[in-house]
Structure 1
């Protein structure tokens, strides 16, 4: 009988033996496939760590401005990608309104903004209407629809508590993340906030100013630095070379030297 089950049964017996076994194997396969499907609904696939200086993962997604390829969207600009837990949530509404009001500030720095919310497009338009009404603004940057959390998992925009306690939909909650990405598609800054805490839009602008100043001038910036403040000469540049490059150099310690640009 074992030989028959292995497919060596005579032709006359094969149909009577294979039918019940086929049904049994099919049922087992269906159960296994269902278990795998449930697992991937609740468990994110491991991805490489998003380190500073690494290339921002590319993706394709639906947005309020149509379908995009993320790297093509960035083009030769800087980009700020920031995520939100859901549409029609109070903290998110205040945040998107504040960023919308800073449109000219970001554009003057060559920065594109793009938001993400863990809902589909069907509710994004109504939410944008509320944002504009509440903040007296005109939100013009795209918002990604990420109801299945694919981008959220790709960029690790979820916290451990939500992975351990998956909600009733079987998908983890998306937290408030900020990624500053340069024209080479490199991640230059990440900020992660809990869902309960709103971001500081002025800080996002400040760090962009610092990054762009450092790139163009070859300097670093001290605590609470704002545009126009003194900057720090990097340790890799000698004081003599710094004076040739910047002019006046103020030495506080051999390793801590300030200059004005």
Structure 2
């Protein structure tokens, strides 16, 4: 059933997946109905074709009677990968940068990001601190966001895409929570030279405008690493760039 569920999630036909995974459509049908038990190698081939996240692949192996093949270590135990995360975060200074998991729970942050997150109330500051909850919650940063309707609409679309892609546990509840926050209706709120939807907000240091980029690891084999994204907030205008360079405690 897991294979069928993910095949339908990806909107792929049995014939399409069977050809790509180099097995017969009949064999794939037997696997989907439980009449045939796939080998660990076959599970990985099918999951490769369906772009199944590593956490969910482990469920495939368990359902077939095998031990999980993809380990899950905390960030602190990821060795050179943890070093890479820390290096990217530090290298982004003075731009705020955070490492988050699949549900946007904060795993690590550079000094610039900590500066902007330092004033959150205790119930939002965590741990874990959820970046989306902290941004959209009425008691969080929402009151500081100038284009809250526009930014909220963008965030909700992003969470829905993440849920569709990963089926990660906790994302559906997070989406429902975020949708329940009061917010103005989205408007364009866009300057004619905006390249992306910016995050415009007031901070204790002045008004800022950010665009962001997400970085992920290529070819991960660990569940934690598969779910980590490093999100960096770059200045969307000259005034923000100048403000970031003047932040206390950050390295320009």
Structure-1-length-normalised TM-score: 0.26
The structure with the greater share of residues assigned to helix is: 2
The structure with the greater share of residues assigned to strand is: 1
| Higher-Rg member (1/2) | 1
